[in-house]
Every structure is written in C-alpha cells, then in structure tokens.
Amino acid sequence: DAMVIQNPRYQVTQFGKPVTLSCSQTLNHNVMYWYQQKSSQAPKLLFHYYDKDFNNEADTPDNFQSRRPNTSFCFLDIRSPGLGDAAMYLCATSRGAASTDTQYFGPGTRLTVL
C-alpha cells in the first residue's frame, strides 16, 4: 500500500543533543510537510518542500532544519533540542500545493527531551 512512513515512532534525546527524524513516502507526491503538535494543541506547520524548493514558515525557529535528498525522503533536524521541543512531529505529503490537494499523514514521531 502506498503510504507515509515515519521513523522512529518514539525518539528520546537529551537537552542540546542533535536529533534527526525521518519521513519517507511511496505516493510519489511532490510536496512534503513537517508539522509539530504539542499536547492538546493543533498541529503547526514548520516547513514544506515542493520538490526541492524549501519553504520555511515565518515563525519556525532556526533550531529546526530540514533536508529532502530525493522525492521519497525528508528529514527534520533539530540542532539543539530544548525541553519545549518535546512534541509529536507529523510528516505529510500531497500531490501539489493547491488548496484542494489533500495531505496524507504519517503516524508521527513522538520526541521526548530529557
């Protein structure tokens, strides 16, 4: 089945220790997104790639970076995680970036920062 895969499902890191979260897709979609969702809050878009074109949301902290080496993979790098970065990180894909292009989500990676 075509799908969006996130690894690992649970990640524990230490305060200040860099961490990378991974997302892959078999849908061959052009757009990939990273969202951060904290407890009882709405998922918040961090950035997205349209092909290799990177788009950063204005209020995404510099601590968060992303890489998309090819169509299938996208990585979220947190350079120096703080306690406030503990959250669920959701990856999504869509065929295009129009309003009508449905986003398909992975199961998420829950990040704990000790």
Interface contacts to another protein, rule CB under 8 A:
4, 6, 9, 31, 33, 35, 40-45, 48, 50, 55, 90, 92, 97-100, 102-108
Q: Which two tokens stand for residue 108?
A: 């998420």
Q: How far is the CB of 70 from another protein (least distance, A)?
A: 21
Q: How far is the CB of 6 from another protein (least distance, A)?
A: 8
Q: How many whole angstroms separate alpha carbon 13 and alpha carbon 42?
A: 23
Nearer to another protein, 16 or 96 (CB): 96
Q: Which two tokens stand for residue 112?
A: 């704990």
Q: How many whole angstroms separate alpha carbon 69 and alpha carbon 99?
A: 25
Q: How far is the CB of 82 from another protein (least distance, A)?
A: 22
Nearer to another protein, 19 or 91 (CB): 91
Instruction: Find all residues with CB under 8 Å of 5, minimum gap 6, and list them.
Output: 23, 24, 25, 26, 106
